[in-house]
Structure 1
Amino acid sequence: GHDEREQTLNQLLVEMDGFDVKGGVILIAATNRPDILDPALLRPGRFDRQIAVGPPDVLGREAVLKVHAKGKPFAQDVDLGVIARRTPGFTGADLANVINEAALLTARNNGRLITTEALEESIDRVIAGPERKTRAMSDKEKRVTAYHEAGHALTAWAMPNLDPVHKVTILPRGRSLGHTLVLPLEDRYTQTRSEILDQLVYALGGRAAEELVFHEPTTGASDDIEKATGLARAMVTEFGMSSKLGAVKYGTGDAQPFMGRDYGHQRDYSEEIAAGIDGEVRDLIEGAHDEAWEILTQYRDVLDAMVLELVEKETLAKPELERILAPVRKRPPHNTFAGFGKRTPSDRPPIEIPMSLRKPVSPNGSARGSANGAGKALPGVQPDPNAPAPPTDSGAFGPSQPHGAPYGGYPPPADPPYDKPGP
């Protein structure tokens, strides 16, 4: 109860006040609910230095993977730098789970070395759950799922500001019947309006494919619609990306009580504004839906070819997607934001960052150097000169999240931060 809580807090404060400043004692605490801490705890001399610890970046992920990889046998072609770029948004616990899952898969298959394939499978398990081999889909459902996922992949490939498509599968995992995985080229923490609009198009690509081919939607797009609607509403009410409603935050909520989650949203605006918000959200969704429809109509032959291979192989990797989607051309960027009012943007371009100040980038796309020697080979493992080149898709707010139940969704925005990708 509250009495016990107050007594515990008071006793803690008394104990903290009893430390001698010259005693060399440092008190450290951690919480995922900084919003409910008593202000008395945060005053100078107590917990007065607060450090927000988010998911590690690509170099941090590689360092964490190296720690958990110690003492485990890996094949020569395993590159933890590639695995780090395949796991954007993963926490330390997620990365430990990736290594442990790969070790278990290797043991089940009577293997002696953990291979890249085992690590790739373990990443998919952490993201979307294990394969549901007992879930047998009918030929009709498999074809619908293939068109749905191919619609996501094709629209993602055509949008100019969207991350590269890494893999498409119609193998059931967890609650999903399939998913399309896109991965950023690098860690990102903010997004532009054009990038979010591209994500809306991608999110509705599966629904548009169902309507185009089968002349009616299915329940499989429910998760896509939910997430796309949430993103469009955030554009209007949180990010100030509506030219009609301006750079105003509408509604108050409990801001990220669990460091990335939100309890609810409370209205503090009129019915007229509420109707305007709903209209703006609907316009954003409809515009993205129309653009997805145009892309799929223009490249219907490519869509059918991808579905044919998906039904046959069930999973398409990046090299196969590059071959199938080669005829697809990037769409022109979205129109410039029109919400400046009487303010006229400058024609003067931004400054160029001097070469001496730019972050050095290695050929594999990641920044060079790290405290723990990120980028080096595993201890005791010699590099394989015939090994394939590492993929260039790496990368926060992702991994660009594979779709949820039952077909899919879209990658959530990088700002505000999200927890690890869910199934």
Structure 2
Amino acid sequence: MATGFPIDRRALLAGAMALPVTAHAAALPGSGGDDAAFWHDVAAQYDVTREVIQLENGNWGMMARPVLRSYEQAVERVNRDTSYYARRGMVREVIAARDALAAALGVPAEEVAFTRNATEALKTLILGYNRLKTGDAVLYADLDYDSMQACMESLATRRGAAVVRIALPEPATRQSIIDVYAAAMDANPRLRLILLTHLSHRTGLVVPVREIAAMARARGIDTIVDAAHSWGQLDFALADLDCDFVGLNCHKWLGAPLGVGALHVRRRALAAIDRDPANDATDRDTLQARIHTGTLDFAAQLTVPAALTFQQAIGAKRRADRLSALRNQWVIRARQIPGIEILTPDDPSLHGGITAFRIAGKTSVADNIAIAAKLLERHRIFTVHRVGPAKGACVRVTPALFNSMTDMDALAAALPDLIA
């Protein structure tokens, strides 16, 4: 995640709660971000449950303590001043928060709008996309998010489109992923729209979006990108994807309050997305005109700058390296255990922190519910089963910045018991 702000690596707060500074302010060379003293200080900013080892952080992210305090203050003000605040300055502050987010994403402010989550952003893009003609085709993959798959399927009745579904390779390589999309483009000459999930919520597989989108663009095909799990987990800017349409979350890896997502549409492509019919037809033709949420949690949006400040003090690359190092800590050991299948490649360009595993032959939903339950009941390790991959269900492991290498070692040590 490239940012538009200077990063103070010796503090996790600016003007609020300073993180203790240690002699290990910079990651050790070759440490993969595993500087124990620094990350201990980071973890200390999260009030995480002690009931379990929490390795299911993909649903939403935890606010760090200073972000939570900022949110509490915003809630207090919105609750106290209500419309007196809303009609006399709150909108300016929400716009300023939007501008700060756009700067962090590395795109012009008018190309970003707040939504309540990535699902709402992507629903706006998919259902509002107006370049389809009857008989055109749209494409999505087995690892895409369920709600987005449903939106793509609905284009058959909404737009008269032919819907194409593909399965991504397992195990995957960078080239094999590109090849399966290229083959789908070759097989469907009327393909006009592709949904790409940058980092899958099911297995953690990272798709080479830029390369696939470039192939699509050369054939006159548009690409909508689901970046709900990639932005803040991986180190990139939106410009690196080179795509016109992106939906993302702020309450996952950025660690903002629940109920904040964002929509990005390049200015040149704005006309391809319909205006929301609930908006006044006389309103200016902006990206905001494509969304109509009604009254929402304004305090959550107002807290986004605090979340950005906290994460920028850590640094995008350092954060991505740490999440990858946590992942590798258990995966390297797990690959040596007979009967454990790791679904996500070790190629660092194809994974972040999320990785899924499967016990050989255990592909049903019931099997994987039972595996996750066994991890919780016997080892106090909380994970979640996932369905959808073409080769069967799996268990997803999602570490966060408050997790330790000891947590990951505990998972690796528990895996043989699952097979027994």
Indicate whether the TM-score tops 0.5: no
TM-score band by shorter chain is under 0.3
Q: TM-score, normalised on structure 1?
A: 0.23
Higher gyration radius (CA): 1
